[in-house]
Amino acid sequence: GAVVSQHPSWVICKSGTSVKIECRSLDFQATTMFWYRQFPKQSLMLMATSNEGSKATYEQGVEKDKFLINHASLTLSTLTVTSAHPEDSSFYICSARLLAGGNGDTQYFGPGTRLTVL
């Protein structure tokens, strides 16, 4: 259980194009999903918290107009990188929050999307 999928797993695009990444919780409903970015040899940095049916909450320094997040259902959140540039090249990982009662919350991660902007 607690499987999260991401699509696509990798994408190469030209500078200036927009790229959409999907994150799905396959066997549970997730009212909250998270989007992270990881540059080489660095840790995961939270970009935004995606809440089903409401606006996403962005971390400081993350441009909400550049990284559009939509969480239209309890199993799907999408991240669109608009007008991508080479500096946006990174590993984008989503996670879905599973409420686990006494054990506290646990996040399960998707396999990630490697974005390369030429």
Partner 1 sequence: RKEVEQDPGPFNVPEGATVAFNCTYSNSASQSFFWYRQDCRKEPKLLMSVYSSGNEDGRFTAQLNRASQYISLLIRDSKLSDSATYLCVVTSGTYKYIFGTGTRLKVLA
At 72, list the tokens: 């239209």
Q: Does 106 bind partner 1 (CB under 8 A)?
A: yes
Q: How many residues bind partner 1 (CB under 8 A)?
A: 23
Q: Does 107 bind partner 1 (CB under 8 A)?
A: yes
Report 40-99 residues binding partner 1 (CB under 8 A).
42-46, 49, 91, 93, 95, 97
- CB within 8 Å of 25: residues ≥ 6 apart: 2, 3, 4, 33, 74, 75, 96, 108
Nearest to 18 by CA among 90, 117, 108, 112: 117
Q: Which one of 96, 112, 115, 117 is in contact with partner 1 (CB under 8 A)? A: 112
**Residues of the shown chain interacting with partner 1 in the complex, contacts defined by CB under 8 A:** 32, 34, 42-46, 49, 91, 93, 95, 97, 103-112, 114
